[in-house]
Amino acid sequence: MRFAVIVFPGSNCDTDLFRAIEEVLCEEVDYVSHHETNLENYDAVLLPGGFSYGDYLRSGAIASFSNIMPAIIDFAESGKPILGICNGFQVLLESGLLPGAMKRNEHLKFICQTTPLIVENNETAFTNQYRLQERINLPIAHAEGNYECDEGTLADLEKNHQVVFRYADNPNGSKGDIAGIVNERGNVLGMMPHPERAVEQLLGNDDGYKLFQSILVHWREQHAVTS
């Protein structure tokens, strides 16, 4: 399986993500610049955390107009998996690939801590290795992680089981305690917590590993040779 890690000016979790794939998941991975326009050679696209374009205007707003964006939208339409982590989630919201928006954290402070989460849907390409309602701990590190949407959107997210991760102890004021959502088709996941920072015990926590493993298991199931 071949992964693309998209690099924007100001991305700062791209190396963590690259190493999680190359050294822990042991799959192929390339950095792909925001200047590029083609993602045909990839099976999954990863949008890393960071401060793309310095978070000017709103976090993710300028990156959502990058050269690479039409290819990311085509990739989503083809049904292949896209994972946006933290700033990557913000880019997915700003580009309209996921519904809703991010506001500043409720207490207007940057939060950097490990946070308990509940796996609310374990039937996605990203969470099939977790148990339903499994409680996991992942690091968060953001200033704009206060998820907001209108009541109709929230009702749709709940009805379609698009809320994948919920905060057990809402740290930022997110509506519905939402920490991560998928699109209706289920192939685009945005999440504020950082699974790539928790992929092996050497990092003190491996609760994020199963997320990457899930993507691989899902891809293998789709590409299984049947006779």
Binding mask 47-66 for ligand GLN (x = CB under 6 A): --xxx---x---x-------
Q: Which two tokens stand for residue 160?
A: 């379609």
Cβ-Cβ contacts under 8 Å for 166 (sequence gap 6 or more): 117, 118, 120, 176, 177, 178, 179
Q: Which two tokens stand for residue 164?
A: 């994948």
The one among 7, 72, 82, 86 contacting ligand GLN by CB under 6 A:
86
Which secondary-structure segment (H or E) carries 222? helix 209-222
User: Per CB under 6 A, which region of 86-94, 150-158, 170-178, 219-227 contacts ligand GLN?
Assistant: 86-94
CB atoms within 10 A of CB 226: 3
142, 144, 196, 218: the catalytic one is 196
Tell me the three state secondary structure of residue 103: strand
The yes or no reply on residue 142 touching ligand GLN (CB under 6 A) is yes
What is the per-residue DSSP string for 78-91? TT--EEEETHHHHH
Contact 217, 204 (CB under 8 A): no
Smaller CB separation from ligand GLN, 109 or 131:
109
The yes or no reply on residue 144 touching ligand GLN (CB under 6 A) is yes
The yes or no reply on residue 16 touching ligand GLN (CB under 6 A) is no
Shortest distance in whole angstroms from residue 227 CB to ligand GLN: 45
The yes or no reply on residue 218 touching ligand GLN (CB under 6 A) is no
Binding interface with ligand GLN (CB under 6 A): 13, 49-51, 55, 59, 86-87, 90, 141-145
